[in-house]
Structures are given as structure tokens and as C-alpha cells.
């Protein structure tokens, strides 16, 4: 909401509160340097791996990131200030700025797909909502062939990663690098009103969506610490930056993985500005952590993928692995909005009121407090859309303001719920557009290709409206804005969805983990049929989890680090998980 909050208030930001991440360009680490581990991608997973693998001083670790550092003299406030999050979604300095192919079932719209191109990756761009998903998601991973990735196996790594401001328990961590808090805007009455409306509608209250009971309405966890974004770079990379055995190279694009036969021995990289190329050798392993778009793209550029497709675009085939880039999953996001009868929304925090904006900016710059210190998605919920759903399949984020799908604030006081179906049945893909490593790949999420997905998203619209119509909203609720009150029938809702739904920016599963022909890596994160090559990021999720992906990706990398280092897995958790007794016959 504060996209332009500092443009008029300051031309620079003090970085005295943030440690500088030691970085270099490709020229600083020469081709004569050999490393034990070469990590491609400085996002959520890559930052975790760089920290954990370099903790042993005998390991020489190289992390290569295509984008710049997340800390710089002039505009790092755009990353560090939670309320400024939309800034980096709207330009390409820190963002790959991808777009999908025209979507057949969304009126042929091309949807924006921002992905982080900066240290911290998408954890430096996202809305800072920390959600782990449902326990059943991970048990489904185990059942699908990802041995050792059940909820009981994964929960200890969620706890290892985390320091929660409410303290440790059987679900929360107390001494991990990733600080998680409950938000700073509890005095905004609309957050509590949304929770109360969910309870009035017959859903439970949950005091921890990431603990015993995901289902219900309550307060969201956030990766915000001391008023600033707490990205993977802040949590993992900066504390490790001074280690002499860790080299971080920024502004450098990895063009391909270098193979000798079927063994990965290094990478071929090109500096963004000078176009100088360098090969970095890996004595032990090359690890791809570029995310659900860049990791399959890099595999294909390196000759690993469907052989026919690779030949069609002129890439020599190293290994035929047709599942690379397939099985893409994502969450859609609906912005369901009502006018607000009282002037208590974030509409006051727009440039219509410049004195407010200057005050907000200065308070954050000086104290890291106030409206600038929040992403303003502090309450939400998870519900089941119909009887027979064994776990929640709709997620809500509540925003006490007006925001369009183009990430611009509205012209009036309003509030909205972001409603996202969690488990679409449609599947998409990513493939090469050409053999040029700087060409954006073809991104085809294939949204709403099945009738079941259309049924689920209609239910999301109707159930969101029902929540907003609860009596606790009576003193605040004005007219419905989007969709309009006239949108009622299935056909009318479908037409509105086609015109207005956006991506929730959660691509995953394009190098899925498993044992079948539809998988790319095994349960040890090793690429099938190749040696000394792993993928560790959201692309290896066997199926998408029920919620935002940053927390699960960090967990995944924590667990993968133990696997790579040969450490024994943490002991399995025995913490219980809530399951509604009547889920087969009741929706709530």
C-alpha cells in the first residue's frame, strides 16, 4: 500500500541497521578457483544452503546469484520496508518480471509472475506471510514416493529454522535464524473483525495456523523482525557472509551446468554487465536453487530434459529426463472487495494524503515502527470448501484496504479478502523459448483447465461473500465492489473470475521429487540419472502445499542440507494434528 511512500520523503535509506552481505562479481572468483559446493541461486533455499554447508570450515562454498545484493546505499528500503512490498513487484531491478503465456481459461490474459532476482530471492519480494501448509500435504509427499518427507519428518526442520516471538513449543522453534512474528497492527479493528466474522459464520478460531490446527480463522505469522523484512538473506546469508570459505557472487547469470559424461563438474557463468564468462568447478556437487522457473530452465539449457524439446531449440542432449519442467502447480488469488463505511482503512496511507505518507516514511526510517513496519495481511484463515474435503482447501488473507490486481491502491475506503484455492487439479509446464539463457522461458500454468478447479473457485467467491455478510461487519460493510452484487450465477462468477483472478505467485513442482517417470529428483534431492547434481528449491515439491511457499522452501533446504552433509535426520516429531471428526459430511 505504501508503494511510493519514500519517493518524496527521501532519496536514500540508511543501512546502519542492516549488516552488509559480502558479495563479489564473477571476476573476483576466477576460473582457477575450485569449490566443493557450487550453489546456483541466492533465494530462500540457496541462502539456507550457503549458511549450512559453509558452517564446516573445510567446505569451500560458492553461491552465485543473477541479481544484485539486497542491501545497497540508495534503495534497499524498498526491500527492507514491509509496506513497500509492491515496489519490487512492478519493476525488474530485483525481479525477473516474468509473464505467463495467454491463459485460455482466463480470457487469454497474460498474468505477471514476479520472481526474486536478488539475494534472498522471492523472500526479498514476497508479502512476508509465513505459512507451513497442512500436515497432510507432507504425508502425501511421503505416500507419493518422497521417502523421509512426511510431516513427522519435516516438522523438526520447520522448528530448527525458526525463532517465533511467542516462544518455542512442540510446533514453533525458539532458536533458529528465521524470525517470525504476529504483526504490529493489532489496533486495526478490521483485522479482528475478519476473524470474528469467520467464527460467526461457523468456522473455528485457531491460535496457530502453523501449529496443531491450521483450519479456522486467526492471526497470521509474518517474516518481519524489528520492523523490517526478515528474508532468507537476512536470516541465513548475512550471518555467514564473513566466513572465509564462503564466496557470494552477484550480478552473474549461470548459463549452464558443465558435465563430464553424466557427472556435473561445474557451471558456466556470465557477468551481467561485462558479459565476461567464467567456469567455476565443483569438486563435490552442483546444487540448483533457482526456483520453480529458473531451475528447470537451467537444467534444460544444460541438456537435461525432454530430448525432443531440447533438439527443437538447439540444445545438445546430455540426459533425456522428460519430467523436467512438467507438473507445474500454482495458487490463484481472488481479490474480493467491499466498500468501507468508516474512514479507517489504508486509504489514508496513499499519496492522496501526502502529509500522512511523509509521516509514515519518517517513522519507519527512524524507529522501524508504524504502518511502514507491516505488510498489512495480519489476519486470515483456512477453510474447507465442501463436505468430503479432509483438510482446508481455501486460504484467506485479509487486507484493510483497496488494492487491484495491478497492485495499485483504490480511490476510496474499502477492505478485501484474498481467497486462494489450495489444491488445483490443473497442471502446467515451463519450457525453453530458445537456447539463449537470457531469454525468458515459456511459462504455461494452464489455470482453471478442469471443471473441478472452476467449482472450487466459485465456492471461494460465495464463501468469502458469506463471511463478509456476517453481522460483525455491519457497521463497516458498504456495497460490494468486486465482484458486484449483480454477479450471482455460476456463469456470472466464472466470467468475473476469468477477468480478475491473478496468480498468488506460488509456482512449484516443476522438478518434482519422487520415484516415477513424472519425477526429476529422488528423495535425497539428486537428479535422476546424473551424478553430483542436486536441485533444492520449491521446484522439487512433489505437490504444492496448502499455503505460502517461503516457509516450506526454507524447511526443505534445511532438511536437504543435512542430507547433503551426511548428517542423521532430526528425530521425528510426535506432535498431534487436528482433524475434524465430521469432515466427510460437513463443510464446517
User: What would the mean pLDDT of 251-280 be, rounded to a whole number?
Assistant: 98
User: What would the mean pLDDT of 403-421 be, rounded to a whole number?
Assistant: 87
pLDDT classification of 28: cutoffs 50, 70, 90:
low
Question: Is residue 117 helix, strand or coil?
Answer: coil
**Mean pLDDT across the chain, nearest whole number?**
94
pLDDT classification of 75: cutoffs 50, 70, 90:
confident
Q: What percentage of the chain reaches a pLDDT higher than 70?
A: 94
Distance CA 34, CA 392 (A): 48
Residue 98 host element (H or E): strand 98-99
Which of the following is catalytic: 134, 164, 506, 532?
506
Helix%, strand%, coil% for the chain, nearest 5: 25, 25, 50
- DSSP-assigned states of every residue in 361-384: HHHHHHHS-SGGG--S--EEEEE-
Asked if residue 21 has pLDDT above 70, the reply is no
Asked if residue 579 has pLDDT above 90, the reply is yes
CB 540 within 8 A of CB 556: yes
User: What would the mean pLDDT of 378-393 be, rounded to a whole number?
Assistant: 98
Selection from 316, 335, 279, 262 nearest residue 483 by Cα: 335
Give phi and psi for 215, each to the nearest 5.
Answer: -65, 135
User: What would the mean pLDDT of 296-312 be, rounded to a whole number?
Assistant: 99
- DSSP-assigned states of every residue in 493-543: HHHHHHHH-EE-S--B-TT-BSSSTT-SB-TTSBBTT-BSEEE-SGGG-SS
Is 506 catalytic? The answer is yes
CB 42 within 8 A of CB 120: yes
pLDDT classification of 431: cutoffs 50, 70, 90:
very high
pLDDT classification of 348: cutoffs 50, 70, 90:
confident
User: What would the mean pLDDT of 389-409 be, rounded to a whole number?
Assistant: 89
In DSSP terms, 531 is beta-bridged to 263
User: What would the mean pLDDT of 113-118 be, rounded to a whole number?
Assistant: 97
- Residue written as cell 511523509? 358
CB 233 within 8 A of CB 102: no
Asked if residue 18 has pLDDT above 50, the reply is no
Asked if residue 323 has pLDDT above 80, the reply is yes
pLDDT classification of 14: cutoffs 50, 70, 90:
very low
pTM: 0.95
pLDDT attached to residue 32: 55
Task: Read off the pLDDT of residues 466-511 as tens digits, 9 standing for 90 and up.
Answer: 999 999 999 999 999 999 999 999 999 999 999 999 999 999 999 9
Selection from 38, 50, 16, 9 nearest residue 359 by Cα: 9
pLDDT classification of 309: cutoffs 50, 70, 90:
very high
Distance CA 538, CA 556 (A): 8
Domain 26-565, architecture per CATH:
3-Layer(bba) Sandwich (3.50)
pLDDT attached to residue 11: 30
Selection from 130, 368, 70, 124 nearest residue 227 by Cα: 368
Task: Read off the pLDDT of residues 205-238 as tens digits, 9 standing for 90 and up.
Answer: 999 999 999 999 999 999 999 999 999 999 999 9
pLDDT classification of 3: cutoffs 50, 70, 90:
very low
Asked if residue 30 has pLDDT above 90, the reply is no
Residue extents of the structural domains in the chain: 26-565
Distance CA 82, CA 132 (A): 20
Burial class (CB in 10 A: 0-12, 13-18, 19+), 344: middle
Task: Read off the pLDDT of residues 120-149 as tens digits, 9 standing for 90 and up.
Answer: 999 999 999 999 999 999 999 999 999 999
User: What would the mean pLDDT of 48-54 be, rounded to a whole number?
Assistant: 99
Give phi and psi for 313, each to the nearest 5.
Answer: -100, 5
pLDDT attached to residue 23: 54
Asked if residue 103 has pLDDT above 60, the reply is yes
- Alpha helical stretches, state H, 88-188: 135-143, 151-161
Asked if residue 530 has pLDDT above 90, the reply is yes
pLDDT classification of 31: cutoffs 50, 70, 90:
low
Amino acid at each position: 500500500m505504501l508503494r511510493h511512500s519514500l519517493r518524496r520523503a527521501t532519496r536514500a535509506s540508511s543501512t546502519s541497521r542492516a549488516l552488509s552481505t559480502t558479495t563479489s562479481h564473477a571476476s573476483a572468483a576466477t576460473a582457477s578457483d575450485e569449490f566443493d559446493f557450487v550453489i546456483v541461486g541466492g533465494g530462500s533455499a540457496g541462502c539456507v544452503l550457503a549458511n549450512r554447508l559453509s558452517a564446516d570450515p573445510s567446505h569451500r562454498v560458492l553461491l552465485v546469484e543473477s541479481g544484485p545484493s539486497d542491501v545497497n546505499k540508495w534503495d534497499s528500503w524498498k526491500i527492507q520496508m514491509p509496506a513497500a512490498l509492491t515496489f519490487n513487484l512492478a519493476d525488474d531491478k530485483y525481479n525477473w518480471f516474468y509473464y505467463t503465456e495467454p491463459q485460455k481459461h482466463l480470457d487469454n490474459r497474460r498474468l505477471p509472475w514476479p520472481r526474486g532476482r536478488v539475494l534472498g530471492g522471492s523472500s526479498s519480494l514476497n508479502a512476508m506471510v509465513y505459512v507451513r501448509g497442512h500436515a497432510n500435504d507432507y504425508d502425501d509427499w511421503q505416500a507419493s514416493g518422497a521417502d523421509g518427507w512426511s510431516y513427522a519428518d519435516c516438522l523438526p526442520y520447520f522448528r530448527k529454522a525458526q525463532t517465533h516471538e511467542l516462544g518455542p513449543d512442540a510446533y514453533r522453534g525458539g532458536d533458529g535464524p528465521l524470525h517470525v512474528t504476529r504483526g504490529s497492527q493489532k489496533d486495526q479493528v478490521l483485522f479482528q473483525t475478519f476473524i470474528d466474522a469467520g467464527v460467526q459464520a461457523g468456522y473455528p478460531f485457531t491460535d496457530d495456523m502453523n501449529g496443531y490446527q491450521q483450519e479456522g480463522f486467526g492471526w497470521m505469522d509474518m517474516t518481519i523482525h524489528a520492523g523490517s523484512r526478515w528474508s532468507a538473506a537476512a536470516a541465513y546469508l548475512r550471518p555467514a557472509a564473513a566466513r572465509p570459505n564462503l564466496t557470494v557472487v552477484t550480478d552473474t547469470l549461470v548459463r549452464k551446468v558443465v558435465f563430464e559424461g553424466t557427472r556435473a563438474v561445474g557451471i558456466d557463468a556470465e557477468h551481467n554487465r561485462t558479459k565476461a564468462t567464467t567456469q567455476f568447478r565443483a569438486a563435490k556437487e552442483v546444487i540448483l536453487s533457482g526456483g520453480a522457473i529458473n531451475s528447470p530452465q537451467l537444467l534444460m539449457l544444460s541438456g537435461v530434459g525432454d530430448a525432443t524439446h531440447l533438439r527443437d531449440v538447439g540444445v545438445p542432449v546430455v540426459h533425456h529426463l522428460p519430467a523436467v519442467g512438467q507438473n507445474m502447480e500454482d495458487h490463484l488469488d481472488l481479490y474480493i472487495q467491499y466498500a468501507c463505511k468508516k474512514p479507517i482503512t489504508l486509504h489514508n496511507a496513499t499519496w492522496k494524503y501526502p502529509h500522512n505518507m511523509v509521516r509514515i516514511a519518517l517513522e519507519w526510517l527512524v524507529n522501524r515502527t508504524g504502518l511502514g513496519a507491516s505488510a498489512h495481511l495480519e489476519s486470515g484463515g483456512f477453510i474447507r470448501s465442501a463436505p468430503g474435503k479432509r483438510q482446508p482447501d481455501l486460504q484467506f488473507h485479509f487486507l484493510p484496504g483497496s488494492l487491484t490486481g495491478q497492485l495499485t491502491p483504490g480511490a476510496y475506503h474499502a477492505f478485501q479478502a484474498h481467497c486462494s484455492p489450495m489444491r488445483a487439479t490443473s497442471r502446467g509446464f515451463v519450457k525453453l523459448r530458445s537456447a539463449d539463457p537470457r531469454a525468458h522461458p515459456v511459462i504455461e500454468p494452464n489455470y482453471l483447465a478442469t471443471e473441478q478447479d472452476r467449482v472450487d473457485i466459485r465456492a471461494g467467491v460465495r464463501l468469502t461473500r458469506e463471511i463478509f455478510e456476517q453481522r460483525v461487519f455491519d457497521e463497516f460493510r458498504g456495497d460490494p465492489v468486486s465482484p458486484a452484487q449483480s454477479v450471482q450465477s455460476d456463469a456470472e462468477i466464472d466470467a468475473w473470475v476469468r477477468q480478475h483472478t491473478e496468480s498468488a505467485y506460488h509456482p512449484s513442482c516443476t522438478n518434482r521429487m519422487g520415484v516415477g517417470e513424472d519425477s526429476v529428483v529422488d528423495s535425497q534431492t539428486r537428479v535422476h540419472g546424473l551424478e553430483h547434481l542436486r536441485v533444492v528449491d520449491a521446484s522439487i515439491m512433489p505437490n504444492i502445499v496448502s499455503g505460502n511457499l517461503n516457509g516450506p522452501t526454507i524447511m526443505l533446504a534445511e532438511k536437504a542440507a543435512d542430507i547433503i552433509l551426511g548428517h542423521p535426520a532430526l528425530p521425528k516429531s510426535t506432535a498431534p494434528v487436528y482433524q475434524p471428526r465430521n469432515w466427510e459430511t460437513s463443510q464446517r
